[in-house]
Amino acid sequence: MWAVIGGAILLVGAGRALPTAAPCSARPGAFSIRGRQTQAYDRERLAAGTVVDASGAQFVLPTTKHIVIHVAGGEGMCWSGGEALGAFPPDASWNTIHETYGMVVGVTNRAGAAAFTVENFTAFAYGKGVSLDAGGDGDWTIRNVHVVYGRDDCIENDWYNTGLIDSSFFDGCYDVMSSLQDPGLDVPDGQANVVTIRNSLLRLQVMDGIYETREAIPRHEAFWKWSATRGPRLNLRNNVFFTDDSSVSSNHADMYMAPPPGRLNECAGNIMIWEGNGPFPERLPSCFTLETGTRGLALWDSVVALWKARHPYASPDVAPPVVSLFQPGPGGTSVLSGTIDLVATAVDDRGVAGVQFRLDGRDIGSEVVTPTLVRRDRFTKYALRWDSRAVPNGSYALTASARDAVGNRATAGIVMVTVRN
């Protein structure tokens, strides 16, 4: 799907149609869901071959609901379209966000969904994007799926099943994919199985709410949370990876920035964009081209633009951004003196248009419209340099409001600060 030509990434076969699978929503008898949904979809006894056409469905649930879509049943089911639009703020604790899911397929130790397909689906601001949660979920397909700000595993395959990921975009993951059994579960050996990932974009994103409490935030894990002794093999073809930090836990915790040792089966045409300090933290196989610096950033922008052009939005923008204060807040002191940098973390499913800081409800400074590189994070941090001597000494309520391009807004929780000059 991608090629590097003259310093730019271009679509392979530009000028002719690339082969694509027909959407399963075109099958006769598809069951339709449309419009705004305020309740979770939970069905574990769907008939074999059931097709749920959720094109245009937008699930906007309160943060008390931790699973948006939960399906299981007969073989060959398909879910097509829909958006799971989360509202968990960036500073939500790991214990909160770890158990949240855009979609769960199967019921652990009870019901599976063999040969399940999910296509044209978006998950935003949940822990897991899509979780294949049962031993009976073998031969799954994830196609044209967009996971934005996946706070844990963008894809979870902890039962080591065979599957295919095609033409998908994982746009900011704490770790991209998990194939590491949970303690206490009896998971069959998966070494003979194969997960194929092709024509996809995979980006790690440092997060504010992380598992490793001894580490300074923000951090992320790795591309692969993988059992190198029992997990499936990997076929990697024509993918582009992006990261600007190493794994917080590294190999000793089954976290791998390069393909897990002994698990790479077939591999060709992959690009790794590394924007961190020093050399890439692990040795990459020869089927990867390493890109860095301004060239790497330009390449990433190119492939993202190409993917979005091929996957236009089919529904209106209804979800507000998620936003929280980072500094002051979890990333800095609450005593403000002299000129300081105020930093908020803000993310939107379709892009943040601006962040406005406020002190006691009044705007301070201009709206910040572009993210700033802060502690390894170049995508979600919005910073304002502000002279605290503009207000008298005292205690104030600081917050920030984030908006998207159509005016959906969210406001960060208040952080009480003391101005002392």
Q: What is the pLDDT of residue 332?
A: 65
**What's the pLDDT at 214?**
64
pLDDT tens digits along 77-92: 999 999 999 999 999 9
The CB density around residue 64, as the number of other CB atoms within 10 Å, is 5
Q: Can you give the pLDDT at residue 17?
A: 39
Contact 135, 158 (CB under 8 A): no
- Residue 42: which pLDDT band, with cuts at 50, 70 and 90? very high
What's residue 253's pLDDT?
83
Structure confidence at residue 15 (pLDDT): 34
Q: What is the three-class DSSP state of 220? A: coil
Listed in order, the ranges of the chain carrying CATH 2.60.40.650 are: 322-419
Residues 381 and 371 sit within 8 Å (Cβ to Cβ) = yes
Is residue 177 within 8 Å of residue 157, measured between CB atoms? yes
Taking the C-alpha atoms of residue 71 and residue 179, their distance in angstroms, rounded to an integer, is: 20
Query: Given this structure, which CATH class describes domain 24-310?
Result: mainly beta
**Lowest mean pLDDT segment, chosen from 159-168, 193-202, 249-258, 368-377:** 249-258
Residue-level pLDDT at 16: 37
SS3 call for 331: coil
- Whether 14 has a pLDDT exceeding 50, the answer reads no
With b for 16 or more beta-carbon neighbours within 10 A and e for fewer, the 347-365 pattern comes to bbbbebbbbbbbbeeeebe
Which two structure tokens, joined as six digits, stand for 401? 């409001």
On the question of pLDDT at 13 being above 70, the answer is no
Provide the token pair at 254. Answer: 């089954």
CB 374 within 8 A of CB 383: yes
What SS3 state is found at 272? strand
Q: How many CB atoms lie within 10 A of CB 375?
A: 15
Residue 14 class from Cβ within 10 Å (0-12 exposed, 13-18 middle, 19+ buried)?
exposed
Q: Judging by beta carbons within 10 Å of its beta carbon (0-12, 13-18, 19+), is residue 60 exposed, middle or buried? A: middle
* Contact in structure between 68 and 33 (CB atoms under 8 Å): no
**Tokens linked to 325:** 């204060």
Query: Is 322-419 a CATH 3.30.70.1140 domain?
Result: no
CA 238 to chain centre: 20
Are 134 and 106 in contact by the 8 Å Cβ rule? The answer is: yes
Q: How confident is the model at residue 211 (pLDDT cuts 50, 70, 90)?
A: confident
Q: Band of the pLDDT at 7, cuts 50, 70, 90?
A: very low
**Of the ranges 63-72, 204-213, 284-293, which one carries the lowest mean pLDDT score?**
204-213
pLDDT at 323 over 80: yes
pLDDT for the residue 5: 46
As a residue count, the chain comes to 421
Closest CA to 89 of 361, 406, 378, 401: 401
Residue 20 pLDDT grade (very low, low, confident, very high; cuts 50, 70, 90): low
Structure-block tokens of residue 283: 């040795």
**Per-residue pLDDT at 27:** 83
Give the residue, 24 or 233, on which the prediction is more confident.
233
Mean pLDDT of the chain: 91
pLDDT at 347 over 80: yes
Q: Which among 144, 139, 175, 146 is positioned nearest to 160, based on CA atoms?
A: 139
Between the CA of residue 15 and those of 22, 64, 144, 306, 312, what are the distances in Å?
20, 48, 21, 14, 19
Query: How far apart (Å, rounded) are the C-alpha atoms in residues 264 and 235?
Result: 6
Q: What is the mean pLDDT of residues 311-329?
A: 95
pLDDT recorded at residue 213: 64
pLDDT in tens, 101-111: 999 998 876 77
pLDDT digits (tens, 9 = 90+) for 223-233: 999 999 999 99
Mean pLDDT, to the nearest integer, of 370-387?
Answer: 95
Q: What residue ranges of the chain are covered by domains with CATH 2.160.20.10?
A: 24-310
